[in-house]
Structure 1
Amino acid sequence: MKTLTFKTNINCGNCLAKVTPVLNAESNIESWKVDLEDPERTLTVETDTLSAEEVKKTVLKSGFLATPK
């Protein structure tokens, strides 16, 4: 299992509500979380198979940006 981290523009609970169904639908993501207290709004993803680029594209589907750290 690898842990990928991203700086995002997911700023609030409403943003989180928009991205949640998209990330939950990706079967190759074991778990994920967004730290809304962190100034960089860090997204942490646990996955065995996805690359940082694939996670970035998945987040983009919900209208948000994810930049690998």
Structure 2
Amino acid sequence: MDNKEFLFKTNINCGGCVAKVTPFLDDAEGVCHWEVDTQNKDKVLTVKSEGISQEQVMQTVQRAGFKIEPLPK
């Protein structure tokens, strides 16, 4: 299985937000690693996938209560 990397623009902009989204992303099936660059103006979420789709990542983050959109490659 090839590991993909997805980049998203989000509104996860502080440690509290990261803490709120953490259980959602940690429990998501097929996520290998993820991180949010809260210093970046786009609050870029990077997800290394082991099978989860871009759409599933977006649904997971939306369930946590955040906005998310794919960043163009």
1:1-69 to structure 2, matched below 5 A, reads: 1-69=3-71
The TM-score, its normalising length taken from structure 2, stands at 0.90
Q: Secondary structure of 1:32's partner?
A: strand
Aligned residues: 69
Output the amino acid matched with 1:63: G
CA deviations on 1:3-49 (whole Å, 9 max, x unpaired) are: 00000000111111100011001131000000011000000000132
In structure 2, list runs of 5 or more residues that go unmatched: none
The TM-score, its normalising length taken from structure 1, stands at 0.95
Q: Secondary structure of 1:27's partner?
A: coil
Report deviation, 1:65. Answer: 1.3
Q: CA RMSD in A?
A: 0.8
In structure 1, list runs of 5 or more residues that go unmatched: none
